């Protein structure tokens, strides 16, 4: 099976944020409603001060952002392929409504 990995680069000076739970991989400290910037994987732990806190759940766009929904099951979780989206819940392939870059 051949597969191609496409690297996506974040926009410079991205000031958008995400909200959700964090967990420290070193001290197991948990924050239930942290607001953190997009485009980063590790954050400073409020307990131990190390850059070892990670998101403890899926990252979703901020409220008010229009998201694509699966026409078959209504889910909003997709695998992104070069020419289509595949619904993570039911496996439906969406080509016609995929707004990806060519």
- pLDDT higher than 60, residue 21: yes
Distance CA 53, CA 2 (A): 35
- pLDDT higher than 70, residue 16: yes
- pLDDT higher than 70, residue 13: no
Confidence category of residue 101, pLDDT binned at 50, 70, 90: very low
The predicted pLDDT at position 59 comes to 73
Confidence category of residue 100, pLDDT binned at 50, 70, 90: low
Length of the chain: 102
Domain ranges of the chain: 18-55, 67-102
The predicted pLDDT at position 93 comes to 93
pLDDT tens digits for 35-59?
888 888 999 999 999 999 999 987 7
Q: Which residues pair with 53 in a beta bridge?
A: 24, 43
pTM, full prediction: 0.56
Among 22, 23, 52, 57, which residue's Cα sits nearest to residue 36?
22
The overall average pLDDT reported for the chain is 82
Among 12, 17, 9, which residue's Cα sits nearest to residue 43?
17
- 39: Cβ contacts below 8 Å, ≥ 6 apart: 10, 14
């Amino acid at each position: 099976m051949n597969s191609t990995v496409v690297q996506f680069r974040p926009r410079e000076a991205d000031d958008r944020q995400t909200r959700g739970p964090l967990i420290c991989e070193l001290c197991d400290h948990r924050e239930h409603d942290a607001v953190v910037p997009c485009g980063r994987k590790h954050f400073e732990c409020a307990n131990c001060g190390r850059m070892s806190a990670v998101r403890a759940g899926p990252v979703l766009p901020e409220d008010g952002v229009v998201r694509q929904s699966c026409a078959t099951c209504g889910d909003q979780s997709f695998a992104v392929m070069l020419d289509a989206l595949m619904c993570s819940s039911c496996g439906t392939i969406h080509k016609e409504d995929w707004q990806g870059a060519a």
